[in-house]
Amino acid sequence: MTDARVLDADVGVVGAGPAGMVASARLAAAGLSVVVLDEGQRAGGQIFRQLPGGAPHPARGAEPPSHARGDTLLAAFADRDVTLRRGATVWDARPGRLWFEQDGASWLLRCRRIVLAPGAYDRCVPFPGWTLPGVVTAGALQVMVRGFGVVPGQRALVAGSGPLLLPTVTALTGAGVEVVAALEASSRWRALRALGGVLGNGGRRREAAWYARRLLGAGVRLRWGWTVFACEGDGRVQRAVIGKVDRDGRPRRDTARTIEVDVVGAGFGLVPSIELGLRLGCAARFVAARGGHCLVVDGAQRTSVPEVLAAGEICGVGGAEVAMAEGDVVAGTILHELRGIAPPAAAGRRAAAERRAADRLLAAFAPLPGLHELATPATIVCRCEDVTLQQARDAAALHGTSARAIKLGCRAGMGPCQARICGPSLQALAAGRPDQPMDLPVVQLPVRPVTTATILAAPAG
């Protein structure tokens, strides 16, 4: 029975987004056996979302030009002899071994190389009312529209920071939702400095022009230097308080005004999903503009741990173009190591160029420390454990300002999300040190919550 739950492959890939798909399609084309593990129901990751079969498809032109690459990539991926394991949650790893849960069964994948391409998730900044039903992440709204064809509401507020606010707004307007306000916390002045990263790159230039046309066509004006101060409602969101922020993101309370909405999407950039890398012992570093802690890789996308490679957002948030280019480098490295095929130098140069362009763009949207002043003492900071900012501050005062001390002092980060939601802001909020890098998260087993039965039934590596 146990033997049936063990899989063998040349390469095990975590994540079927742009990086994982490019790497696995190329490796499979060269004759290597590849197993891809993904939590989603369909390949594509968060960016190249596929609707369920038979779901209503939006009119042509409702997606930005860069997403056309997703269609090509998904077709190439489907053509290759890649084993995609859907709904698979990887909960433990060591070099050459990935343990995962799928449909309630406990599996072990044994492989010669591990490729980590798990992507990223929305960065959350707590504000009063952010726990109300109807207040979701910006990414959640995109998944709703682009992944399931669900219309999120009638009157939406989109607030946060970074390039992903734009596809969130266009997904909503494309679904017929009125976007009452679209608020970018970063200042226009700061964004102008990023123009080099946009204008120097033809693809990004076309992309920016497409968004500008779509927003104009829908009558939505992106307001720079604005954000959501609070959400209110009886059991679900009905109103939002919005206003201007200063250059550091501090709310200017005198500018507050209330708008009526029935859905709110908030996203202040992305956070790389690095926990499997940390579990494997890969070296990480803190780069604020890339979303915080990310894995360190060399020019061949090798991590500090032998036989473990990484590509895309896990090496620092950079978007799909970076992810695809780095996925290509990963494939070249593995084919070199396992098959002796010399990797094309052009792939490495292209990935480095995409990374530089992304870094320039994202520098305009590095997290603003003043946004941590949105939360009041009574605001929930840890959603899983219902911990308020005051409780987290008390814990920091009593037990110390390390991430670990705060966690042990007030239970923040001990719930099922394992601090993925509160972690990126908890230490800054509780310890009052918004400008300093937070501590590297401590990864505990299971890396993702799975059933005890899965852990007990896990095949020995």
Which residues make up the interface to other proteins (CB under 8 A)? Answer: 39-41, 46, 52-59, 87, 89, 104, 121-122, 131-137, 139-141, 143-144, 148-152, 235-236, 273, 383-386, 415-417, 420-421, 449, 451
Q: Residues with Cβ < 8 Å from 350, sequence gap 6 or more? A: 325, 328
The DSSP letter of residue 377 is T
- For residue 174, the minimal CB distance to other proteins (Å) is 9
**Shorter beta-carbon distance to other proteins: residue 149 or 203:** 149
**Shorter beta-carbon distance to other proteins: residue 222 or 410:** 410
Question: In this structure, what token pair is assigned to residue 18?
Answer: 């742009």
- For residue 62, the minimal CB distance to other proteins (Å) is 9
- For residue 356, the minimal CB distance to other proteins (Å) is 28
- For residue 114, the minimal CB distance to other proteins (Å) is 21
Q: Are 215 and 170 in contact (CB under 8 A)?
A: yes
- For residue 443, the minimal CB distance to other proteins (Å) is 15
Q: Say if strands 387-388 and 380-382 run parallel, antiparallel, or are unpaired.
A: antiparallel
**Shorter beta-carbon distance to other proteins: residue 101 or 439:** 101
Cis check for the bond before 446: say yes or no (omega within 30 of 0).
yes
**Shorter beta-carbon distance to other proteins: residue 50 or 83:** 50
CA-to-CA separations, 369 to 64, 259, 274, 437, in angstroms, rounded: 31, 25, 22, 11
- For residue 421, the minimal CB distance to other proteins (Å) is 5
Q: Which residue has the tokens 């037990």?
A: 399
- For residue 396, the minimal CB distance to other proteins (Å) is 20
**Shorter beta-carbon distance to other proteins: residue 270 or 329:** 270
- For residue 150, the minimal CB distance to other proteins (Å) is 5
Q: What are the residues facing 101 on neighbouring strands?
A: 89, 106
CA-to-CA separations, 314 to 81, 205, 284, 302, 318, in angstroms, rounded: 25, 25, 10, 12, 9
CA–CA dist 286, 316 (Å, integer): 9
Backbone angles phi, psi at 35, to 5 degrees: -115, 125
CA-to-CA separations, 263 to 164, 398, 414, 437, in angstroms, rounded: 17, 38, 28, 32
- For residue 39, the minimal CB distance to other proteins (Å) is 5
The DSSP letter of residue 400 is -
**Shorter beta-carbon distance to other proteins: residue 350 or 420:** 420
**Shorter beta-carbon distance to other proteins: residue 28 or 271:** 271
Q: Give the distance from CA 187 to its chain's centroid.
A: 23
Q: What are the residues facing 295 on neighbouring strands?
A: 284
**Shorter beta-carbon distance to other proteins: residue 60 or 202:** 60
Q: Are 232 and 216 in contact (CB under 8 A)?
A: no
**Shorter beta-carbon distance to other proteins: residue 334 or 380:** 380
**Shorter beta-carbon distance to other proteins: residue 153 or 197:** 153
Q: Residues with Cβ < 8 Å from 116, sequence gap 6 or more? A: 14, 15, 276, 277, 280, 282, 295, 303, 308, 309, 310, 311, 314
- For residue 51, the minimal CB distance to other proteins (Å) is 8
